[in-house]
Amino acid sequence: MTSLAAGDGEHLADGTGPSTPAGDNLVLDFVRGEAAAYAALAQAIGGRVRHDAETGLSLSDMGSATPFGNTAHLTAPIRDRAATVAALHDFYGGEPGGPYMVFSPWPTPDLRDDGFLAVGHPPLMFRPPGPAVHERAAATIPPTDSFRIERAGNAAQLEDFERVLIEAYPVTELQPHQPRTMLHPDVLESAWQFFVAYDGDRAVATAGAFVTDRITMVELVSARPETRGRGVGAAVTAAATLAAPDLPALLISSDLGRGVYERLGYLPLLRYTLWIGTRA
């Protein structure tokens, strides 16, 4: 394990090193899971993936116009700023595509002098296992025979998911929507599960779940504007949360959406640090 030298020569594990076992702490389980999740998205679409052992960076690149398709996850705190910046520039620099997003669950140095733009500090939220989340979500949905949630099992349903995500999140860099710009059908063979809410035949909301042996990560949550306030987003998020009912679930929230997740039983753990880098 990564360790800290104590005064008497004893080495104290800090729970962030590459040899830290799964299950040591939820934060490390989450960041490792997120890195694997976005690597799976990139690999399915023919993108690039690299893990930099020296810095702990897990790097994924779809060559996308949106930074949500090009993501770097710090699986350990930054211990060598110059090496971390160099690894980011080496991987993304000179390659086609738009900017990239750097995710860290730990505070980072100020990277603005290295050409990065500060994005913010969204909350990481946790929900313990249990069925109550479904009951809470169901209570918010107006009774209607036209509403349903389906797990995407084919290319057409995955395209519905991608369209809603791009139009409703919104991912403006990828509008108007073109199929397979973020999600390739090959990703259906991975640990991802994609849930689509329909009102009649119209796809109106999304939530994805990436399931590991330890936790479920909820991602890619979106809802069309006309559905907001009706409980539709909460319902589809509940479906993703319970993709593996016996596992705890974690997600990165926005401050705006935090109340929805709290009503589903999520609790704030800490605030992430996000940066955007450019390829120049």
Q: What is the CATH number of the domain that holds 216?
A: 3.40.630.30
Which 8-state DSSP code applies to residue 143?
P
Residues 90 and 144 in one domain: no
Q: Are residues 109 and 173 in the same domain?
A: no
Shared-domain flag, residues 150 and 250: yes
Do 108 and 153 fall within a single domain?
A: no
Tens of pLDDT along 51-103?
A: 999 999 999 999 999 999 999 999 999 999 999 999 999 999 989 999 999 99
Q: Distances in Å between the alpha carbon of 100 and those of 63, 66, 168?
A: 9, 7, 21
Is residue 159 located within the same domain as residue 109? no
Which amino acid, residue 198? Y
Position 8 pLDDT exceeds 60: no
Q: Residue 54: which domain range?
A: 3-122+273-277
State whether 96 and 143 are in the same domain.
no
Q: How many domains does the chain have?
A: 2
In this structure, the answer to whether residues 98 and 191 fall within a common structural domain is: no
Give yes or no: residues 131 and 228 share one domain: yes
Residue 132 confidence (pLDDT) above 80: no
Banded pLDDT at 145 (limits 50, 70, 90)? confident
Given this model, what pLDDT does residue 80 score? 97
How would you classify the pairing of strands 70-74 and 100-104? parallel
pLDDT band per the 50, 70, 90 thresholds, residue 140: low
Is residue 100 located within the same domain as residue 7? yes
- Give the pLDDT of residue 5: 52
Residue 113 and residue 130 in one domain: no
Query: What are the φ and ψ backbone dihedral angles of 231, each rounded to 5 degrees?
Result: 85, 5
Same domain, residue pair 22 and 46: yes
CA 155 to chain CA centroid, Å, is: 21
- Give the rounded distance of the alpha carbon of 52 from its chain centre: 20
What's the whole-number mean pLDDT along residues 125-129?
Answer: 95
Q: If 0-12 CB within 10 Å is exposed, 13-18 middle and 19+ buried, where does residue 68 land?
A: buried
pLDDT at 216 over 60: yes
Co-location of 109 and 134 in the same domain:
no
Do residues 83 and 52 make contact, with C-beta atoms less than 8 angstroms apart? Answer: no
Identity (one letter) of the amino acid at 177? Answer: H
